[in-house]
Amino acid sequence: MSLKRKDLLSLAPLSVDEIALILETADSFKEVTGREIKKVPALRGKTVVNLFFEPSTRTRTSFELAAKRLSADVINFSPSASSVVKGETLLDTARNIEAMQADIIVLRHSSAGAAETLARGVKSSVINAGDGWHEHPTQALLDLYTIRQRGMDFAGLRVAIVGDVSHSRVARSNIYALTKLGADVRLVGPSTMMPWGVEKLGAKVYYDMDEGLRGVNVIMMLRLQLERQGRALFPTIREYTRLYGLTAERVRLADPGAIVMHPGPINRGVEIAPDVADSLSSVILDQVANGVAIRMGILYLMSGSN
């Protein structure tokens, strides 16, 4: 089978088979990233544009490296500094990029639905690298890949996603994908950070962290967006850490073989204790390494001529 899609905007509409295909394709690229010469000619002559309206180092670098290892030409475009200030719309910026013959546009934007809007307006393939509070599909896919790499089976897998679920596109993409694959998803956090009606997505909500972590196989921590402090979501960072910070003691409530994940960048000592972030059960750096392989896989699958 192949991925018959022009764009990758969201995990919500993807089938189980499509997700499996992406993970298997990433396997082949994982082998490539382990070679001495980490480059293959698959995307020779193609142009990938990283269009990032929001600051990002990790995701942008990961996409850049992935495209370069596939021999594509990569251009990083961060319009925040230039055209937006001059009043250019998203679609006009993108059309300009398209006019330069971009095959694939990787978009990061602060508004939910930006990738969808862009995909409708341009012929190039669009990959959503995070749109507002909506989705961050490649992050969830690399999370899935990391879980699978640890030999875990998704059916019946107990996963706790802990933190500010409301404002997390990573959480949303993971909820869509994990529930689809048959995992038992628990959302843990204060009520101010839990979106209304999130249970409808098939996840269970826990306001008590200890209860939520009991027996889980995967603990997925979300970054506490410190910039949101003062918006009445939590009284103090110290209180948040006491109630929802991951400590070694809390890890012990989970399954003995449980892994700890975090999309980064981590706030050491806030949502995750330093000793937990550096512990053997932490797969945080594996996630980063797998991110390149997953993105190579997605770029490869999206690179068919339109």
State how far the Cα of 235 lies from the Cα of 229, in Å rounded to an integer: 8
Q: Which is nearer to other proteins, 15 or 28 (CB)?
A: 28
State how far the Cα of 42 lies from the Cα of 24, in Å rounded to an integer: 17
Q: Measured from the CB of residue 36, what is the shortest distance to other proteins in angstroms?
A: 8
The radius of gyration of the chain's CA atoms, rounded to the nearest angstrom, is 19
Residue 75 interacts with other proteins (CB under 8 A): yes or no? no
Which of 62, 166, 287, 303 is the binder for other proteins (CB under 8 A)?
Answer: 303
State how far the Cα of 53 lies from the Cα of 166, in Å rounded to an integer: 21
Q: Which is nearer to other proteins, 125 or 241 (CB)?
A: 125
Q: x/- contact string, 43-72, with other proteins (CB under 8 A)?
A: xxxx--------------------------
Which of 15, 16, 17, 27 is the binder for other proteins (CB under 8 A)?
Answer: 27
- Cβ atoms within 10 Å, residue 46: 21
Which of 20, 32, 75, 91 is the binder for other proteins (CB under 8 A)?
Answer: 32
Q: Which is nearer to other proteins, 20 or 84 (CB)?
A: 20
3-state DSSP helix/strand/coil % of the chain, to nearest 5: 40, 15, 40
Cα 27 to chain centroid distance, Å, stands at 18
Which of 20, 42, 75, 91 is the binder for other proteins (CB under 8 A)?
Answer: 42
Find the helix or strand (DSSP H, E) in which 295 lies: helix 284-302
Q: Measured from the CB of residue 214, what is the shortest distance to other proteins in angstroms?
A: 38
Query: Length of the chain in residues, anyone?
Result: 306
Asked if 29 and 296 count as a contact pair (C-beta separation under 8 A), the reply is yes
Which of 12, 20, 21, 201 is the binder for other proteins (CB under 8 A)?
Answer: 21
Q: Measured from the CB of residue 8, what is the shortest distance to other proteins in angstroms?
A: 13
Q: Which is nearer to other proteins, 39 or 242 (CB)?
A: 39
State how far the Cα of 161 lies from the Cα of 139, in Å rounded to an integer: 14
- Which ranges in 122-198 belong to alpha helices (H)? 137-149, 169-180
Residues in CB range of 277: below 8 A, 6 or more apart:
260, 262, 266, 268, 284
Q: Which is nearer to other proteins, 45 or 197 (CB)?
A: 45
Which residue(s) pair with 186 in the sheet? 160, 204
Residue reference for tokens 């862009």 = 118
Q: Measured from the CB of residue 229, what is the shortest distance to other proteins in angstroms?
A: 45
**Candidates 27-35, 81-89, 132-140, 256-264; binding stretch for other proteins (CB under 8 A):** 27-35
State how far the Cα of 79 lies from the Cα of 107, in Å rounded to an integer: 11
Residue 35 interacts with other proteins (CB under 8 A): yes or no? yes
Number of residues that bind other proteins (CB under 8 A): 29
Q: Which is nearer to other proteins, 28 or 82 (CB)?
A: 28
State how far the Cα of 15 lies from the Cα of 13, in Å rounded to an integer: 7
Q: Which is nearer to other proteins, 21 or 84 (CB)?
A: 21
Q: Measured from the CB of residue 177, what is the shortest distance to other proteins in angstroms?
A: 21
Q: Measured from the CB of residue 139, what is the shortest distance to other proteins in angstroms?
A: 22
Question: Which residues would be at the binding site for other proteins (CB under 8 A)?
Answer: 1-4, 21, 24-25, 27-29, 31-32, 35-37, 39-46, 300-301, 303-306
